[in-house]
A and B are shown apart, each in its own frame.
Chain A
Amino acid sequence: KAGVTQTPRYLIKTRGQQVTLSCSPISGHRSVSWYQQTPGQGLQFLFEYFSETQRNKGNFPGRFSGRQFSNSRSEMNVSTLELGDSALYLCASSLSPMSSYEQYFGPGTRLTVT
């Protein structure tokens, strides 16, 4: 069974640009969550999607947005990139957003903003 895949794995962008990251969950998983990991702030929750609906959103500015498609694949977009957006972006999938279900994390997309 294939795991969670994220593309691209590495990305270098310039301040002011926008970026789109993609996440394909494990087959059959309908819940997708996104996290940002930085050395300073640690791991922070961005969004959670289930059945194409955003269920939860973390404390991030409106420049961060996301969506989920009917096949459960998810994308996140960051507009007007800032240096502080440089981070590892992790996607996780689970069967359901319910807490009892285990989350499986993808390898991450490392974004560098210059």
Chain B
Amino acid sequence: ELKVEQNPLFLSMQEGKNYTIYCNYSTTSDRLYWYRQDPGKSLESLFVLLSNGAVKQEGRLMASLDTKARLSTLHITAAVHDLSATYFCAVDIGGSQGNLIFGKGTKLSVKP
């Protein structure tokens, strides 16, 4: 069975701290996506990682992909309250955006 596992599922952190969210997947894929979802809102695309070793950064967020380990990480640097949201990773299993398998999401709460 294809699985995409995120951990942790819940993360409470203080402002200014660093932390990493992990996304493990069980099938061969070299394409992975990260999304952000605010409560009651839709998904916002954060990163598209298309090859082994891909690293992308935007502000305080940095995502990387290791296809050999079937692992992607989303690293948060010096967290601020505005980063509070649920973060999803999604793995492309079919070479098309129509074959995405999503993780269960990591609910991040950044406290002052």
Contacts and interface: CB of A to CB of B under 8 A. Distances in A.
Contacts of B103: 42
B97 A103 contact: yes
Contact of A105 (B43, B98, B105): B43
Interface residues of B, number: 25
A103 B103 CA distance: 17
Given A42-B104, A42-B105, A44-B102, A105 B97 contact: no
B42 A106 contact: yes
B45 A102 contact: yes
A43 B88 contact: yes
B99 A45 contact: yes
B44 A105 contact: yes
Interface residues of A, number: 25
Interface string B53-81: 00000000000000000000000000000
B32 to A, nearest CB: 10
A104 B99 CA distance: 16
A42 to B, nearest CB: 5
Interface of B: 31, 33, 35, 41-45, 48, 50, 88, 90, 92, 94-105
Interface of A: 31, 33, 42-45, 47-48, 55-56, 90, 92, 94, 97-108
